[in-house]
Structure 1
Amino acid sequence: MTQQTAPCAVTERVIGIIAEVLDIPPHTITPETRVLRDLETESIDLLEFGVGLNAAFGIPVADDTVFLTSLRVHLEEARHADADPYKMMAGRYPHLSCDRVACILRTLDDGPVLSVQDIADYVLHALRAGQHEKAPSHAG
């Protein structure tokens, strides 16, 4: 793993992308910051985050997966099918740890659950899976 793709570096870059899109100081954002609940984020901002992630890391961005946009729909489908919500989430959101899935399920009623770290974990998962495109050259 290169220095650029080390977990801390990825998280810091994700914070930078979010700060740039929302025009807020990066130091006001932490990995635990909930993107939709703690920040004034609109749906158009999520699209811009996706573009920024693609440009910064050269990964394909599946908006529904990275931003958990259909999480509640998937959980409702699992409930109607009498399926295990943990297994459903593991299949649809493989970048989330078991502990994070448990936390999301515990706090779902409090409002939107997407955190900055969830986005960083998506990026790390994509990079580890080799889903990055050829990195753009920054040579001048």
Structure 2
Amino acid sequence: MSIFNQVQSVITEVLEVEPEEVTPETYVMRDLPTESIDLMEYGVGLTKECGVSVHDETVFLKSFRTHIAEANDKGLEPVTHLVSVYPHLSSDRIKEMLSTINKGPVLQVRDIVAYVEYAKRA
């Protein structure tokens, strides 16, 4: 089973939604009925299903906006700073996130997949 399928399985089980509703491009908070308690269940499910240690702050980008503000306050280039905080995300993905941040939470299923892939390599 691919990592995407494992992540998809965890999300569909927690939310009781159809697999077709969970694609790599699906926004976890914008498109799905995810609540904060569900993120905790995702973390438990990912640990069990994928065999990785889940750091909620990192995988679910809980402090993403705080890190943007931190970069701005310190005169750092935001993309470079965010890549250092979230090493599982590419600079191109972070640029994409920054371009859509005004539309709401930026976490997509593919970002969780990237986290699991990164954690398995570490």
Distance 1:28 1:109 in 2: 23
Give the aligned partner of residue 116 of structure 1: 109
| Rg larger in structure | 1
Indicate yes or no: 2:66 matched with 1:73: yes
**How far does residue 110 in structure 1 lie from its aligned partner after superposition?**
1.1
Indicate yes or no: 2:4 matched with 1:11: yes
Indicate yes or no: 2:17 matched with 1:24: yes
Unpaired runs of at least 5, structure 2: none
Off by >6 Å, runs of 4+ in structure 1? none
Aligned partners of 2:61 and 2:107 also within 8 Å: yes
Distance 1:38 1:68 in 2: 16
Could you tell me the TM-score, scaled by structure 2's length? Answer: 0.97
Percent same amino acid among aligned pairs? Answer: 48
Indicate yes or no: 2:66 matched with 1:82: no
Give the aligned partner of residue 50 of structure 1: 43
Give the aligned partner of residue 120 of structure 2: 127
Superimposed CA distance per residue, residues 68-105 of structure 1 (whole angstroms, 9 cap, x where no aligned partner): 01000111111111111111111110000121011011
Aligned partners of 2:3 and 2:117 also within 8 Å: yes
Count of residue pairs brought into register by the alignment: 122
Which of the two has greater helix per residue?
2
Residue aligned with 1:72, SS: helix
Could you tell me the TM-score, scaled by structure 1's length? Answer: 0.85
CA RMSD of aligned residues (A): 0.8
Aligned partners of 2:6 and 2:50 also within 8 Å: no
